[in-house]
Amino acid sequence: MSDIIQLLPDHVANQIAAGEVVQRPASVVKELLENAIDAKATTIKLLVKDAGKTLVQVIDNGSGMSVTDSRLSFERHATSKIRSAEDLFQLHTKGFRGEALASIAAIAHVELKTRQAHDEVGTQLIVEGSEVVSQEVVVTPKGTSIAVKNLFFNIPARRNFLKSNQVETRHIIDEFHRVALAHPNIQFVMYHNGSEVFNLPESNYRQRIVNIFGAKTNEKLVPVNEETEVVKISGFVGKPEYAKKTRGEQFFFVNDRFIKSAYLNHAISSAFEGLLKDSTHPSYFLNLTVDPQTIDINIHPTKTEIKFDDEHTLYAILRASVKHSLGQFNIAPVLDFDRDANLDTPYEYKDKHHPNVPNIEVDRSFNPFQEKQVSGKQTTFLKKQTLANWDSLYVGLESKGTQTQQDFTSVQFESEEQTGSIFKDSNQVETKQTTFQIQNKYIISTIKSGMLVIDQYRAHQRVLYEDFLQHITVKESMSQQLLFPVQLHFSPQEIEILRQVKEDLEHTGFLFSNFTNDGIEISGVPVHVPESEVSVILEQLISDIENEVPDSNFSPTDLLAKSMAKSLAVKSGQSLTVTEQEHLVNSLFGCKEPNMSPTNKSTFVTLSVDELDKKFI
């Protein structure tokens, strides 16, 4: 039998490695930005076209590469970051994965320009599908510029799996945020389709957060600082009243590297226990500095998950640090609900004593019952009854009590005026209840063949969905004016999303009186929409549009109607009156598709009499 095992060609091996390294354009952005940081750049520019499908270019002013290094950088397992296996546990850099540039070059057209500071001219390399097309001497600024064009040009199947431009742009911005937040000492600039999206100057950590998420973020931040032998923690957490329905503003950085950790996230959530509303999540921007030998970064291909040597100790320290910060800045609740927070002693003055304690003089000889001589006249503040005539106070008391008792026997009470009614007495009207609510979740309704069990949340979603969809399509809706306009603050990216759906929102009943780069002002809301739910609705809408829920096949109008229906529908656990139950059931079966919710889930099930009979056999 002939041999069947063979070595793969390099270009095939690189394409296989690319499946691990490059999942979407955001993966290319992450690799190139981290390489620029490792090159000790102080200014990094990111240029993106068509959500990275056409172009992803990173320009830095770092150390640059020589002619040999520029050629070797596209070879597999080539890196300047490690020399031995032991170096994997002493990592102080980011892009240590050797296949990164080789994998990118295998599935795209790459153009590299680089020059070191002591060289007069630089090097230009053009690589297409792992093949070096040209290598030339070129005049270029100090540093490196890598342009990745036509991603997945030779793997059309992978390109078809990419989401819409809006979703892919959202992923790129997320990666940009993660890298920019980890390095506030570096200037970052981002352009998308020729327009500037971010321009983040070199700053401190708080200012970097404010520059990314908007000026109003500054008042939401509570500093966290703790240093122990195990870990050094620094950063900020958001105040509980600004908690959001989504997890967008949650960032953990370990040794300046963004990570995801459900375990550490639970530590934050437990620190906020009792301070948050239901289904809301706190914001946090926390930097953890630990010994590189106590962590393992290589447990996940994207390096976003880390294995800690002592997770339990880290959990306890992190939880205690956040709790301490919340208490230190008077965020945690106290038992005295009637206190005036303005009279509280600041934390830093807890153990200090005031040098000049005021003296309070008291006239201990003062007696309000004694007689006092005022301007030649004798004035008595209060004359006390002498013990001799105390019994005179009770003279005639018995007779008064008897008279009072006799008077009450002849008291007549007024009766309410009796009026006739053209309707029957309500007690005489026979009422027949046709719906029942079980566990504040399901509504039972009878039919000829048996009964219906209706999910109230899904049913109400269907009713609201068709209602909103009709209003948006017909462009006619009822709106109720607010006595005081509602002002809401969002990040610049979220404001841009709201601008895109502003017209459709107005067709549902929203009225916007002002739109700025960091907030909006709402002067009117749709009928039956509580003012308190406005922020929840818009946050949910932004989250759905960013993640394109349920998928990209639906129009923005459909997505808007689904998102608003999901936010305003009657939740499971909410008690409904008989009238509300009957109205919901009637409205459901007045819909075009009452069987399914907007997310294609059943709104009700039918139980026939035969099925019920079988249960008792």
What domains lie within the chain, and their CATH numbers? Answer: 10-200 (3.30.565.10), 212-328 (3.30.230.10), 437-606 (3.30.1370.100)
Helix (H) or strand (E) holding 126: strand 122-128
Least confident of 7-21, 188-202, 209-223: 7-21
Question: Who's near 594: CB < 8 A, 6+ residues apart?
Answer: 459, 462, 588, 603, 604
Percentage, residues of the chain above pLDDT 90: 17
Q: Is the pLDDT of residue 297 over 60?
A: yes
Cα–Cα distance for residue pair 20/2, rounded to 1 Å: 32
Question: Of 391-400, 432-441, 494-503, which range is least confident?
Answer: 391-400
| Contacts (Cβ under 8 Å, ≥6 apart) of 418 | none
Specify the amino acid at residue 309. D
Please say if the pLDDT value at position 23 is more than 90.
no
- Distance between CA atoms of residues 117 and 51, nearest Å: 32
DSSP class of 458: H
The sign of the torsion formed by the CA atoms of 554, 532, 479, 497 equals: negative
In sequence order, the 6+-apart residues with CB closer than 8 A to the CB of 301 are: 20, 21
Q: Look up residue 97 and give its two tokens.
A: 């994965």
Distances (CA, A) of 165 to 25, 48, 153, 545, 583: 10, 11, 17, 12, 42
Confidence of residue 552 (pLDDT cuts 50, 70, 90): very low
Rounded to the nearest 10 degrees, the angle between the axes of helix 165-182 and helix 534-547 is 100
Tell me the two tokens of residue 524.
């009117």
pLDDT at 305 over 80: no
Return the pLDDT at 518: 75
pTM beyond cutoff 0.95 = no
**Is 409 a residue whose pLDDT tops 60?**
no
Tokens matching residue 274? 């009792």
Strands 511-515 and 442-447: unpaired
Residue 491: Cβ within 10 Å count: 19
**What three-state secondary structure class fits 249?**
coil
Please tell me the predicted confidence (pLDDT) of residue 550. 47
Q: Which two tokens stand for residue 63?
A: 């150390």
pLDDT digits (tens, 9 = 90+) for 483-542: 888 888 887 778 888 888 888 788 878 888 888 777 888 888 887 777 877 888 888 788
Give residue 478's pLDDT.
76
Taking 80 as the threshold, does the pLDDT of residue 451 lie above it? yes
Question: Helix 556-568 to helix 534-547 angle, to the nearest 10 degrees?
Answer: 140
What was the pLDDT predicted at 179? 92
Cα(188)–Cα(59) distance, rounded to whole angstroms?
10
Which residues, 6+ apart, have CB-to-CB distance to 453 below 8 Å? 442, 443, 444, 604, 605, 606, 607
Q: How many helices (H) and strands (E) does the chain have?
A: 17, 24
Average pLDDT over residues 252-270: 88
| pLDDT higher than 70, residue 240 | yes
**242 C-beta neighbours (distance < 10 Å), count:** 16
Q: Tell me: the pLDDT tens digits for 122-158?
A: 999 999 888 888 999 999 999 999 999 998 888 888 8
Q: Do residues 31 and 21 make contact, with C-beta atoms less than 8 angstroms apart?
A: yes
Query: Residue 391 has what pLDDT?
Result: 64
Highest mean pLDDT range out of 12-26, 100-114, 303-317? 100-114
pLDDT score of 525 = 85
> What is the structure's pLDDT at 56?
93
pLDDT of 316 strictly over 70: yes
